[in-house]
């Protein structure tokens, strides 16, 4: 029975009026949520948008995922976090050497080569080659994949050059750390990949 019907009965006893009021309250509590039963309920519903505007977020609104740092996934030493490399091959002669310098960020590759056997026979004066190229796009991806595929093990990383000549790879990380590799097979593989980008160079 509604309150209005109770009020219509002017002669109703006080107990009946109380019963009617309680019936109305119970009816309001079980009404669908789409209908506001009181001003207090309506006020709470209207407060939800303002809570979001005050910086409160729902549990599903997490911060955006951040990319993994370093781009070093799948790399092995010495390529972890690599920023630059210098690969050098030196013989017992001061005029017979080759050096590559590569910057991973810019793709800039430089070679300085001094080769007295450039023509196949020893010459009085070495042929000196200074050249620079900048790699980008697919060419940059290919050379870096070739470099990262050279993965020396612990024994190779521990080897050091013998007297009379040396092949050495120095990789500088973005953090500033330096890794030196003097394993002949490792450095040869790196230098062969880089030398392929300079057709003028003699293949060792």
Using the structure block, give the residue that is written with the tokens 């207090």: 40
Neighbours of 194 (CB within 10 A): 22
CATH of the domain at 123: 3.30.1560
Q: Would residue 66 count as lying in a domain? A: no
Q: For residues 51 and 146, what is the distance between their CA atoms, to the nearest angstrom?
A: 54
Q: Would residue 173 count as lying in a domain? A: yes
- If one compares 40 and 180, the residue with the highest pLDDT of the two is 180
Total structural domains within the chain: 2
Q: Would residue 191 count as lying in a domain? A: yes
Q: What is the structure's pLDDT at 42?
A: 38
Residues of the chain with pLDDT > 70, as a percent, come to 64
- pLDDT tens by residue, 134-153: 999 999 999 999 999 999 99
- pLDDT tens by residue, 48-104: 333 333 333 333 333 322 233 345 667 999 999 999 999 999 998 899 999 999 999
Q: Are residues 25 and 93 both part of a single domain?
A: no
Q: Are residues 93 and 32 both part of a single domain?
A: no
Q: Would residue 12 count as lying in a domain? A: yes
Is the pLDDT confidence value at 20 over 90?
no
Q: Are residues 118 and 173 both part of a single domain?
A: yes
- If one compares 36 and 187, the residue with the highest pLDDT of the two is 187
Q: Would residue 22 count as lying in a domain? A: yes
Q: Would residue 77 count as lying in a domain? A: yes
Q: What is the structure's pLDDT at 73?
A: 65
Q: Are residues 45 and 81 both part of a single domain?
A: no
The phi-psi region of residue 73 (left if phi > 0; otherwise alpha if psi is between -120 and 50; otherwise beta) is: beta
Q: Are residues 78 and 168 both part of a single domain?
A: yes
Q: Are residues 39 and 131 both part of a single domain?
A: no
Q: What is the structure's pLDDT at 203?
A: 81
- Can you tell me the mean pLDDT for 117-121? 90
Q: Would residue 140 count as lying in a domain? A: yes
Is the pLDDT confidence value at 132 over 90?
yes
Domain residues for the domain of 84 are 72-195
Q: Are residues 38 and 78 both part of a single domain?
A: no
Q: What is the structure's pLDDT at 204?
A: 67
Q: Are residues 76 and 45 both part of a single domain?
A: no
Q: Are residues 82 and 182 both part of a single domain?
A: yes
Q: Are residues 87 and 161 both part of a single domain?
A: yes
Q: For residues 81 and 73, what is the distance between their CA atoms, to the nearest angstrom?
A: 9
SS3 state at 89:
strand
Q: Would residue 60 count as lying in a domain? A: no
Q: Are residues 78 and 139 both part of a single domain?
A: yes
Q: Are residues 83 and 41 both part of a single domain?
A: no
């Amino acid at each position: 029975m509604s309150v209005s019907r109770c009020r219509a009965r002017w002669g109703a006893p006080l107990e009946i009026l109380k019963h009617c009021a309680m019936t109305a309250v119970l009816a309001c509590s079980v009404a669908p949520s789409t209908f506001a039963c009181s001003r207090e309920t309506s006020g709470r519903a209207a407060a939800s948008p303002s809570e979001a505007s005050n910086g409160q977020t729902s549990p599903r609104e997490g911060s955006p995922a951040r990319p993994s740092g370093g781009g070093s996934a799948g790399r092995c030493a010495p390529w972890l976090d690599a920023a630059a490399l210098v690969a050098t091959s030196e013989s017992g002669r001061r005029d017979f050497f080759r050096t590559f310098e590569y910057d991973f960020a810019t793709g800039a590759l430089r070679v300085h080569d001094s080769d007295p056997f450039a023509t196949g026979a020893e010459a009085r004066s070495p042929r000196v080659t200074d050249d620079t190229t900048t790699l980008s796009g697919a060419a940059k991806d290919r050379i870096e994949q070739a470099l990262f595929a050279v993965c020396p093990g612990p024994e190779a990383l521990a080897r050091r050059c013998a007297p009379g000549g040396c092949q050495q790879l120095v990789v500088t990380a973005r953090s500033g750390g330096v890794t030196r590799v003097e394993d002949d097979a490792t450095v040869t593989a790196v230098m062969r990949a880089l030398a392929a980008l300079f057709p003028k160079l003699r293949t060792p």
